[in-house]
A and B are shown apart, each in its own frame.
Chain A
Amino acid sequence: MIRAVAIFEIDRRVRAISTYVYFLLFAPLACLIMAATAGGIEGASVSFGGGGKVLANSPFTLANLTIGLSLFGLLVTAAVMGSAVYGDFECRIDPLIFTSRAGKTAYLAGRFLAASAVLILVFSGIGTGLWLGTLMPGLDHVRLGANHWTAYVAPYLSVVIPNVVILGALFFSVAVLSRRILPVYMISVLLLAAYLIAGTITHKIEHKFLAALVDPFGMTAFGYLTEYWTIVEKNTRVPGLEGFLLWNRLLWLALAGLLMGFTWWKFRMEHRAPAQQAARVDRSLLPRAATYPTWLHLTWMQFVETVKNIYFAVIVLAGAGFMVVSARTLGSIYGTPTYPVTYQVLELVGGTFALFILITITFYSGELVWRERDAGVNEIVDSMPLPGWSLWLSKLFALMLVQVLLECVLMVTGMAIQLAKGYSRLEPGLYLKDLFGLQLYDYWLVCALALAVHTLVNHKYLGHLVMVVYYLAYAFMDQFGFEHHLYNYSSHPDHDYSDMNGYGHFLGPVFWYYGYWSALAILLGLAVHLFWVRGLASGWRSRWSFARARFQAPQRKLAVAAGICFAAIGGFIFYNTNVLNPYRTRSQREKLQLRYEREYKAYEKSPGPMITTATLRVDLEPDQRRVRIHGHYDLANKFSEPISEVLLDLPQDWTIHTLRFSPEAHLERSDRALQTQTYRMAQPWPAGASGELEFDIEWQPHGFPNDTAPTDIVANGTFFNSGSLPQFGYDANGELSEDDTRRKYGLAPKPRAADIHDVAARRFTYISHDADWVQFEAVISTAPDQIAVAPGELVRDWSEGGRHLFQYRSRGKILNFFSVLSARYRVLRDRWNDVDLAIYYHPGHEYNLARMMKGVKASLDYCTRNFSPYQNKTVRIVEFPRYDQFAQSFPASIPYSESIGFIARVDPADEEDVDYPFYGTAHEVAHQWWAHQVIGGDVQGATVMSESLAQYTALMVMKQEYGPEHMKRFLKYEMDRYLGGRSSEKKQELPLIRCEGQSYIRYNKASVVFYALQDYVGEEAINRALRGYVQDVAFQEPPYTNALELEARLRAVMPAQYGYLIDDMFDAVTLYENRALSASWRTAANGKYEVKLKVAARKLKASEQGEEREVPLADWIDIGVFGDKEKLLYLQKHKIDRNEQEFTLLVDAIPVTAGIDPWNKLVDRSPDDNTIKVERQQ
């Protein structure tokens, strides 16, 4: 009987068009994405986990794509599973079926199986599409490997099919028990919320397992299963049902089974009279023209009806609930949250809650358009004496009112979150501006589109589908080379709010776009008016003739007016984005880079002038966002050959008023598109000769560009660096860098850095190729209420002609790397020995000044004590707007983003919080040594001497302040980031010493390595090595040092038995698989306890692509025993030279846990199995 039920149902579905629509939705999309990933689509740049050396059809990429796309199928699952039984109620055949002899077991099981089979068929479109994608012509075959069918099938077995069963059971049960379809769609919204909430659990690193379990889609678990996979693993290993994913699937399949059991138990094959719905609708339809206009009345009725029901409440509660949950982790860095400042709450709202709003718009636009027809009163309403426009316009207004209500909910929720977190600096004005001034309008534009789509498509579910396609196009269009906002409905350039600079200069262009899209929305409204279905004729022929009849003089006038506005504003925007500012698509930009490399590469090897002093006069007009720089460079020919030609790189979009060499040089070529100029010396500059460059350059905005407007020079919070000054010579960073892109243009892969042994490359620091050390001086004038900051010591601060002027001068020689900042700062001053300390901050951002100041002092103290004296007399921390999220150390001056420390909320009572304002400051101050005293040559591993050593210093400063216990947690994050980072490596992972600038190596791996190193040989020994190193290489002349020299210093202080550590940690990529196997204890003599511990250990070395081979063990590894509350009872390094080893240890208290490398000092992908509970021996 089950078979009979299932087969008929499958047959019915297979004959239904919707099944093919679903299939055809997936297959071409998957095919397109695969073709794009494999480089087959011009201008597209998508990777979806592939890219670089990870093949487009690698098992990992295939699984990622299949699972990701199947999540979009949530709505399809809801539709198919929901209607598996609901369909019978809907077309009222249930009495016939229920009085047959099918029985509920066969009925439910048959329908469920049939729907599952249909869904699997639909979802097989993804795999089919992906496979077809790999066969498309014009693909880049280096990005493709051989197709293995297992790689296509595996994600179905582990995720997609289980999801059909799990989610299917949920939708099926809800539809069966409620006998309605709406709750099914509501459940999908709730699932989405649950998924998103599961995603926020992981802001604390310990909760990965929980997060992996909670997500019903298995996506999070899949992410954790593969999070540390390397290139080789991604290309060869087929992700199966294992680890987190297996547990997740088992849990959810069990829950699904229980749910189906419950459904079977509750379900009765009985008839329920359908609820009478028509009456509810009727009330609103009778025009009450006497009191106020009918359309107003209709609007209000439809609005109330939309929001006064349980489904709307569910969506809103799900969204608000998600907001509240994710607010816990607001701005979290190292698991430590920030203060809930208003802009962050607003971003939360604009980001994730937006999803719920779009769902609301899509769903309710469909409901509103179909309202009368669904209730069966359309014939009554359509024949009423109402003007045609009032029927649809009232629906649009109702939908727009719903958005107003949602924004109110957001505002209240947002403020409630802030208050609940004890943050009372509410900014209602900012809420109003952002929610009602900006976001609301975005949504209103979508409302107009949704209503038009539903009207024109005239099929509810197809209409929803069209909207989903629009959302996807909106989000991903630019990745396929369609980057201009002008043809992406409702889009506009981004606007970033910053506490320092407010909305800055971002809103102007946004409002032009609002005008532009409003005109289009009016045209859409007109289309709705013309094609609105009134009456029973819904065929296209009759709708078309109705539309022609409705297109009368007023409509014509409106169409012409809106059309003219649309074209005029569009023209104005185009003038701004494409005429006043250069508009280039990704592929145009690539071609420009290509041309740069082809035409200018020759200059790379030819000698150029080197800057020896830089003197600047910078005039800032923050209000106008204008800056003019008069500069003077002293130049020298430091090479053995004469200089006869100079390539000059000029800042993009700046006006060059004058540019004059002396001795004289003639402009030979000016390349506008690339902003380069070539000069020929009147007389070649011989070796050792000197010269000068005078320049006068200016920048001011010209209209607005298509992308987000530049943020260098803003009303409050200007921050630009020496990149905005003329630079000499060929800049290899301007070349195309991705191997995939280079191959497309027939270029060989580009090494990320010169070989570590390359002495010629060490002629230059990795910071600049047109200077060694320079003298720097700048006079900066700015608005009278602003303070301007540049590197070096402040010489003079005065006012003149209504301007505020500052003179800065470097103390001694500095790197050719400077910055200019200007804002309305408040200043906190302090002193450390004879050094002036200051924090220039935005009033209101006082939260962490004390922590930062403490960090400055602790770092100064540590570095001067252990390395060398401080070369400057000042340390300044200078806040800049959050357009960028970093801090950067310049001589004596440290620009520091408002978003990464100023608003951190470190709870001193919470042991898990990391004081990153303190740590970050300590890191940046340490750069005054590691970069500004010791700077590496431009070869592999150069940043080890700057970033890694700054990281080491900050770790030691933090250890000193908070104790070694506190470091465990921080290092856990560093380990996780290292392992995760090497997993997203696209090219090659080299050992630390040859690091090519990858942040997961130079920061995260370096933290782990250096912390372990000082743990093995002692902090003092490491510092002794570093001290000697600084003495030798600080402020050195070329060739500059490399990481091999540093390594030699460290090696020299290693005791013989630990010599292998340098080989493993610096010269190789080494991983351990340490595991505690068993542990037991019994009481021994003298009140001691004897612990028997058995551990396993493996040591692996990974190749550049992540291929691993096991190497023999002869390593010293921590063996530890812990008592109650993790009290340390025993911790000693033991030599481990077998894969399994047993220890018998004596401790003073009852042991609770024990294990190998319990504090995770060594790189290990599963750190949690290192310790085990100690059982009492019987």
Chain B
Amino acid sequence: MELRIEGLSKTYSGGVRALRGVSLTIGAGIFGLLGPNGAGKSTLMRILATLQDADAGSAWLDDLDVLRDKDGVRRVLGYLPQEFGLYPKVTAAALLDHLARLKGISAGAERRALVEALLRQTNLWDARNQRLGAFSGGMKQRFGIAQALIGGPKLIIVDEPTAGLDPEERVRFHNLLGEIGEHVIVILSTHIVGDVSDLCRQMAVIHLGQVLTAGDPLQLAAELRGRIWQTSAERAKADEYRERLPVISARMNAGRRLVRVYAEESPGPEFQIIEPEVEDVYFSAVRRRS
């Protein structure tokens, strides 16, 4: 199974070019789509989820034309939007049942079993008769996953699902995604690098509507080996580095400011070479682009 995206472009009426010829090939498993806010991730997700039309390009899920055969896509789609709401006065079980019906699962017994299974899988079984208005952020997100899993989808799109979750919920959510992501395509859009490094075997960095780099995260990190240098510095010093060196990140770690530089050779004696991480892939791609 394979999702092939070619030359996808989208310009909004205000003139914002959200996508500029995005091409990607995505196989089974969890695919991480990394990018800063406003990179075009959500636009790409919505187009794949049939909620928006692209201006140009194509997208095929095996031999299914994603851009034209919307009904066909919806049949195999599971979608967890970045922002969504739920009827506050309806219970979790009732809404999930309704959504299952809308997904075309009309046989009552089958649907009831499915709803139960999904609620158990997402650990919401005990809360099934609670009104959705009383759900916490993490529960709501898990409900989102439950509804995305209705009907055994082949393409699951998850748009920034972990934003705002506490660490425990985030771990729980990761485990949930990990369980389902083996045989189907899961596209996980996020700006949290940890999500990708924890979950994904494939990834792409997208920025200003373009794909900057794509591949296996570990492999991409390995490709940077020998070119990422780090030192700790005072603030003034860090600013000075920024003036003169290709700094890819400067962040605080345990109270110290760590400055990382992308360079073929050592930028100075105070720098040490370090083992690149997925984060460096992301930052170096974005910084070099900007």
Task: Please give the residue numbers on chain A whose beta carbons come within 8 Å of chain B beta carbons, in ascending order.
Answer: 1, 4-5, 8, 11-12, 15-16, 87, 90-103, 269-271
Near A by CB (< 8 A), chain B positions 192-244 give none
| CB-based nearest B residue for A92 | B85
The answer for the CA separation of A1043 and B147 in the assembled complex, in Å, is 87
State whether B50 touches A101 (Cβ < 8 A): no
Sample of 5 more A-B contacts, CB < 8 Å, known A95-B79, A95-B84, A98-B50: A90-B85, A96-B79, A99-B49, A99-B74, A271-B81
Q: Is B71's beta carbon under 8 Å from chain A?
A: yes
State whether A16 touches B53 (Cβ < 8 A): no
> Assuming A99-B49, A101-B71, A101-B75, is B86 touching A93 (CB within 8 A)?
yes
State whether A91 touches B51 (Cβ < 8 A): no
Residues of A within 8 A of B89 (CB): 12, 15-16
Residues of A within 8 A of B4 (CB): none
State whether B90 touches A12 (Cβ < 8 A): yes
State whether B84 touches A8 (Cβ < 8 A): no
State whether A101 touches B102 (Cβ < 8 A): yes
The answer for the CA separation of A89 and B144 in the assembled complex, in Å, is 17
Residues of A within 8 A of B102 (CB): 1, 4-5, 97, 100-102
Residues of A within 8 A of B147 (CB): 96
Q: Is B174's beta carbon under 8 Å from chain A?
A: no
Q: Give the interface residue-count category, chain B.
A: 20 to 34
Residues of A within 8 A of B49 (CB): 95, 99
| CB-based nearest A residue for B77 | A99
| Cβ contacts A to B, 9 pairs, < 8 Å | A8-B98, A90-B85, A91-B86, A91-B88, A94-B84, A96-B99, A99-B50, A100-B99, A101-B74
Report A3 CB to chain B, min CB distance, Å. 9
> Assuming A96-B147, A271-B52, is B88 touching A4 (CB within 8 A)?
no
> Assuming A4-B101, A101-B104, A271-B51, is B74 touching A91 (CB within 8 A)?
no
State whether B46 touches A271 (Cβ < 8 A): yes
Contact with A along B75-103 (1 / 0, CB 8 A): 10101010111111110001000110111
Interface SS of chain B: helix, strand, loop or mixed? loop
State whether B101 touches A8 (Cβ < 8 A): yes
Contact with A along B17-38 (1 / 0, CB 8 A): 0000000000000000000000
Report B221 CB to chain A, min CB distance, Å. 33
Nearest first, the 8 A-B pairs at minimum CB distance are A92-B85, A100-B102, A271-B51, A91-B85, A95-B81, A4-B101, A99-B79, A8-B98
Residues of B within 8 A of A97 (CB): 99, 102
| CB-based nearest B residue for A5 | B102
Near A by CB (< 8 A), chain B positions 238-260 give none
The 8 Å CB contact of A4, one of B86, B90, B98, B144, is B98
The answer for the CA separation of A98 and B103 in the assembled complex, in Å, is 10
Report A10 CB to chain B, min CB distance, Å. 12
The answer for the CA separation of A95 and B50 in the assembled complex, in Å, is 10
Report B235 CB to chain A, min CB distance, Å. 31
Residues of B within 8 A of A8 (CB): 98, 101
Contact with A along B99-111 (1 / 0, CB 8 A): 1011110100000
Near A by CB (< 8 A), chain B positions 143-165 give 144, 147
Near A by CB (< 8 A), chain B positions 93-138 give 94, 98-99, 101-104, 106
> Assuming A95-B79, A96-B147, A97-B102, is B53 touching A270 (CB within 8 A)?
yes
Report B273 CB to chain A, min CB distance, Å. 44
| CB-based nearest B residue for A9 | B98
Residues of B within 8 A of A93 (CB): 84-87
The answer for the CA separation of A11 and B97 in the assembled complex, in Å, is 13
| CB-based nearest B residue for A8 | B98
State whether A98 touches B71 (Cβ < 8 A): no
Report B217 CB to chain A, min CB distance, Å. 28
The answer for the CA separation of A561 and B83 in the assembled complex, in Å, is 53
Residues of B within 8 A of A271 (CB): 46, 51-52, 81
| CB-based nearest B residue for A15 | B89
The answer for the CA separation of A91 and B133 in the assembled complex, in Å, is 10
Residues of A within 8 A of B90 (CB): 12
Report B210 CB to chain A, min CB distance, Å. 21
State whether B103 touches A100 (Cβ < 8 A): yes
Residues of A within 8 A of B75 (CB): 101
State whether A96 touches B84 (Cβ < 8 A): yes
Residues of A within 8 A of B94 (CB): 11
| CB-based nearest B residue for A100 | B102
State whether B85 touches A270 (Cβ < 8 A): no
| CB-based nearest B residue for A106 | B102
The answer for the CA separation of A97 and B86 in the assembled complex, in Å, is 11
The answer for the CA separation of A979 and B50 in the assembled complex, in Å, is 63
State whether A270 touches B52 (Cβ < 8 A): yes
Report B289 CB to chain A, min CB distance, Å. 25
The answer for the CA separation of A98 and B52 in the assembled complex, in Å, is 11
| CB-based nearest B residue for A91 | B85
State whether A103 touches B87 (Cβ < 8 A): no
Residues of B within 8 A of A12 (CB): 87, 89-90
The answer for the CA separation of A271 and B45 in the assembled complex, in Å, is 11
Report B22 CB to chain A, min CB distance, Å. 18
The answer for the CA separation of A314 and B237 in the assembled complex, in Å, is 61
The answer for the CA separation of A15 and B85 in the assembled complex, in Å, is 19
The answer for the CA separation of A4 and B104 in the assembled complex, in Å, is 10
Residues of B within 8 A of A92 (CB): 83-85
The answer for the CA separation of A1115 and B98 in the assembled complex, in Å, is 73
Report A720 CB to chain B, min CB distance, Å. 66
Near A by CB (< 8 A), chain B positions 47-66 give 49-53
The answer for the CA separation of A4 and B106 in the assembled complex, in Å, is 9
Residues of A within 8 A of B83 (CB): 92
Residues of B within 8 A of A90 (CB): 85
Report B81 CB to chain A, min CB distance, Å. 4
Residues of A within 8 A of B106 (CB): 4
Report A813 CB to chain B, min CB distance, Å. 84
| CB-based nearest A residue for B74 | A101
State whether B98 touches A101 (Cβ < 8 A): no
The answer for the CA separation of A12 and B91 in the assembled complex, in Å, is 10
Residues of B within 8 A of A96 (CB): 79, 81, 84, 99, 144, 147
State whether B84 touches A103 (Cβ < 8 A): no
| CB-based nearest A residue for B82 | A95
State whether B51 touches A269 (Cβ < 8 A): yes
The answer for the CA separation of A713 and B178 in the assembled complex, in Å, is 94
Report B215 CB to chain A, min CB distance, Å. 29
Residues of A within 8 A of B81 (CB): 95-96, 271
Residues of B within 8 A of A4 (CB): 98, 101-102, 106
Residues of B within 8 A of A11 (CB): 94
Report A831 CB to chain B, min CB distance, Å. 81
Residues of B within 8 A of A100 (CB): 74, 99, 102-103
Report A396 CB to chain B, min CB distance, Å. 32
Report A833 CB to chain B, min CB distance, Å. 84
The answer for the CA separation of A92 and B84 in the assembled complex, in Å, is 5
State whether B98 touches A98 (Cβ < 8 A): no
| CB-based nearest B residue for A89 | B85
Residues of A within 8 A of B84 (CB): 92-96
Report B197 CB to chain A, min CB distance, Å. 27
The answer for the CA separation of A5 and B75 in the assembled complex, in Å, is 17
Report B72 CB to chain A, min CB distance, Å. 10
The answer for the CA separation of A478 and B71 in the assembled complex, in Å, is 61
Report A12 CB to chain B, min CB distance, Å. 6
Residues of B within 8 A of A94 (CB): 84
The answer for the CA separation of A102 and B83 in the assembled complex, in Å, is 21
| CB-based nearest A residue for B101 | A4
| CB-based nearest A residue for B49 | A99
The answer for the CA separation of A96 and B101 in the assembled complex, in Å, is 13
Residues of B within 8 A of A270 (CB): 46, 50-53
The answer for the CA separation of A1162 and B144 in the assembled complex, in Å, is 76
The answer for the CA separation of A98 and B90 in the assembled complex, in Å, is 19
The answer for the CA separation of A16 and B87 in the assembled complex, in Å, is 11
Residues of A within 8 A of B88 (CB): 91
The answer for the CA separation of A1067 and B55 in the assembled complex, in Å, is 84
The answer for the CA separation of A103 and B89 in the assembled complex, in Å, is 24
Report A6 CB to chain B, min CB distance, Å. 11
The answer for the CA separation of A98 and B71 in the assembled complex, in Å, is 10
Residues of B within 8 A of A91 (CB): 85-88
